[in-house]
Structure 1
Amino acid sequence: MTSTLTAPVQPETVHAIEVGVMQDRIIPEPVGPPSYRASYVTRDTAPGKARRGVVLALKTWGLEQLADTAELLVSELVTNTFVHTDSRTVGVVVTRTAETTVRIMVLDTDRAEMSVPTCPSGDEESGRGLFLVAALADRWDIERVSTGKRIWCELDTKKVQP
């Protein structure tokens, strides 16, 4: 009599929610620096899902002290994609780029010309998202990529005392 042992099947996708033909996907990175990658349908629920995913990654890495700032940053960046682009999906990547640095990237497929943010007047109700990102992040930038654009920001862990 022979017995066969099989390893448990590791799902490629940790989390998938079907929304029509589009899906939200959270995929673990198998190699490289610790990272979290997710793709969400660009709708009003995307910022909340992105916040939860980023906080989960930070807690997993023992960086809970960055959670509040990271939540605000990713919320602003994902909301901008939802409000200001025609992208059907938004990607979020959080990477531990160094022992003391976490990078948050938000990617969309919008190919429209990028404009330089202008400072809104005091009575405008919106338009402060990227100014908030600039104030809270240690570094940030917007880059054109072949598939659309990438907005990233970095938080230094060494500035925060646990």
Structure 2
Amino acid sequence: MTVTATPRPTGHPGYSQTLAREPESAGAARSLVRTALAAWHQDGLTEDALCVITELVSNAVDHACCSVIRVVVTRPAEDRVLLAVVDRSRDLPMMRTDCGGERIRGRGLVLVDALSDRWGTGLHRWGKTVWAELRSGPATGD
């Protein structure tokens, strides 16, 4: 799979990678996020960002309908990092608030909501993007 880095208006490249829609792709997504955060000197976001991207990928693996997903990591502003997963399903994710203590699954978006500053979805004619934004501190060495 090829990783793409694209220039952005903030002067920071955006990173994206197309991955197979399988549980093992969460590891590749985490690697992409680590690469982007290291390039942007945003190591303080790593723990939360890795958890968020894992949950977004897991949701796409469970609910998308195509054989591939696209993971996107961008820095839309100096103080924000955006993590997104794009898939071909138009079914919108729903945050479950009825997660009892005995449930093993179904808490992903609750974690995304807790760890990100904001999150949401974007519908496209062909599918959707589920994204989460984390607020970053000033970069050192940028």
Q: Tell whether the structures are fold-level matches, with TM greater than 0.5.
A: yes
Residue 65 (structure 2) aligns with: 86
Which 4+ stretches in 1 moved above 4 angstroms?
none
Identity of aligned residues (%): 32
1:25–1:40: 8 Å Cα contact kept in structure 2?
no
* Larger RCO (CA under 8 A, 6+ residues apart): 2
Residue 96 (structure 2) aligns with: 118
What displacement does 1:115 show?
A: 5.2
Distance 1:159 1:136, change over 3 A: farther
What TM-score comes out, normalization by structure 2 length? 0.88
**1:47 maps to 2:29:** no
Three-state SS of the structure 1 residue aligned to 2:66 is coil
What displacement does 1:31 show?
A: 5.1
Residue 144 (structure 1) aligns with: 123
5+ long unaligned stretches in structure 1:
1-23
Three-state SS of the structure 2 residue aligned to 1:95 is strand
What TM-score comes out, normalization by structure 1 length? 0.77
Distance in structure 1 (CA, Å) of the matches to 2:53 and 2:138: 19
5+ long unaligned stretches in structure 2:
none
Task: Flag the structure with larger Rg.
Answer: 1
**1:134 maps to 2:113:** yes
**1:68 maps to 2:33:** no
Residue 59 (structure 1) aligns with: 38
